[in-house]
């Protein structure tokens, strides 16, 4: 199995140690496991778009962990911060494509200017008496029938492109689902960790038992066992239906989730 992946000629990714290394000086940062797997997949896609579902399958579900779309956004923010710490944010861009997913764009450095040795030396100009003024040949006229055929073909091509675009837009509007917003409201009940604020999905506010169980699990496995770790004080409890009910999920943020640079982190616990 190949452990090293070259991202252009600028950085390399070690899949074993999860180190993202700048080629020119060896400066490196360590990526989370999910971010490492997703970055490797984006590099192998060679500029093609990977959907959020594909990234969730690659980064989490392959390890048996169920996630939501917000986990992908958190992972993308961590990758962008890692590239910025290596000063590669201008050369390597992780671009979000509306309603499609994400793609990785690599802008290689432009080639150096040619050196003095490589500049072609031109022969000296001829003296004026040896120069003969060239008479420009008249441009060849395109036969009128041929010009008409070319114009007609171009018109058909443009019409075909416009029809194709209209069909694609119609199919996209008919079959591509639009994202639905999730409204969180303040929850006040037993089991809230001291100094924390708990927000719950508005349509799940009645699931008191699941909310309290999630807070208990989070307190036991994150707050009590990771003494020196300080996640965000605003806790968003996310619950679902069907298969997702087997999981307890918490998003811990330093700022409200709708603000920029909220520094959120997701936690998921499997129920056995």
- How far apart CA 136 and CA 121 sit, in angstroms, is 28
247-253/234-238 β-pairing: antiparallel
pLDDT category of residue 186 using cuts at 50, 70 and 90 = very high
* Predicted confidence (pLDDT) at residue 230 exceeds the cutoff of 80: no
pLDDT the model gives residue 77? 92
What angle (nearest 5°) sits at the alpha carbon of residue 264, between those of residues 58 and 206?
A: 95
Which domains, and CATH codes, for the chain? 4-106 (1.10.10.10), 184-270 (no CATH)
pLDDT single digits (tens) 115-133: 444 445 455 555 555 554 4
Mean pLDDT of the residues in the chain: 78
pLDDT category of residue 134 using cuts at 50, 70 and 90 = very low
Enter the pTM of the model.
0.41
pLDDT single digits (tens) 138-173: 555 555 566 667 777 777 777 777 787 877 776 666
Q: What are the two backbone dihedrals, phi and then psi, of residue 104, each rounded to the nearest 5 degrees? A: -105, 125
Question: Residue-wise over 28-61: b if at least 16 C-beta within 10 A, else e?
Answer: bbebbebbbbbbbbbbeeeeeebebebbbebbbe
Give one DSSP letter per residue of 86-132, joined into a string: TT-TTTEEEEEETTTEEEEEE-PPPPPPPPGGGSPPPPPPPPGGG--
**Stretch 35-41: mean pLDDT, rounded?**
89
Q: How many CA atoms lie within 13 A of 117 on its CB side?
A: 0
**Stretch 57-86: mean pLDDT, rounded?**
87
């Amino acid at each position: 199995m190949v452990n090293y992946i070259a991202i252009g000629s600028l950085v390399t990714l070690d899949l074993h140690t999860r180190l993202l290394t700048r080629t020119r000086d060896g400066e490196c940062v360590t990526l989370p496991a999910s971010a490492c797997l997703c970055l490797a997949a984006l590099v192998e896609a060679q500029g093609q778009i990977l959907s959020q579902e594909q990234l969730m399958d690659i980064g989490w579900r392959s390890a048996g962990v169920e996630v939501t779309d917000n986990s992908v956004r958190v992972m993308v923010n961590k990758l962008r911060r890692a590239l910025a710490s290596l000063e590669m944010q201008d050369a390597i861009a992780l671009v979000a494509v509306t309603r499609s997913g994400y793609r990785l764009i690599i802008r290689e450095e432009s080639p150096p200017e040619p050196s003095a040795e490589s500049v072609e030396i031109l022969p000296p100009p001829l003296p004026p008496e040896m120069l003969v003024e060239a008479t420009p040949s008249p441009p060849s006229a395109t036969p009128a029938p041929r010009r008409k055929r070319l114009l007609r073909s171009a018109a058909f091509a443009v019409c075909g492109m416009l029809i194709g675009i209209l069909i694609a837009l119609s199919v996209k509007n008919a079959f591509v689902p639009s994202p639905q917003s999730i409204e969180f409201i303040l929850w006040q009940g037993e089991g809230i960790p001291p100094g924390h604020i708990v927000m719950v999905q508005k349509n799940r506010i009645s699931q008191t038992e699941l909310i309290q169980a999630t807070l208990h699990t989070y307190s036991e496995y994150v707050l009590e066992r990771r003494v020196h770790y300080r996640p965000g004080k605003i806790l968003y409890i996310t619950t679902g239906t069907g298969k997702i009910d087997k999981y307890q999920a918490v998003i811990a943020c330093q700022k409200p989730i709708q603000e920029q640079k909220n520094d959120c982190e997701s936690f998921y616990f499997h129920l056995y």
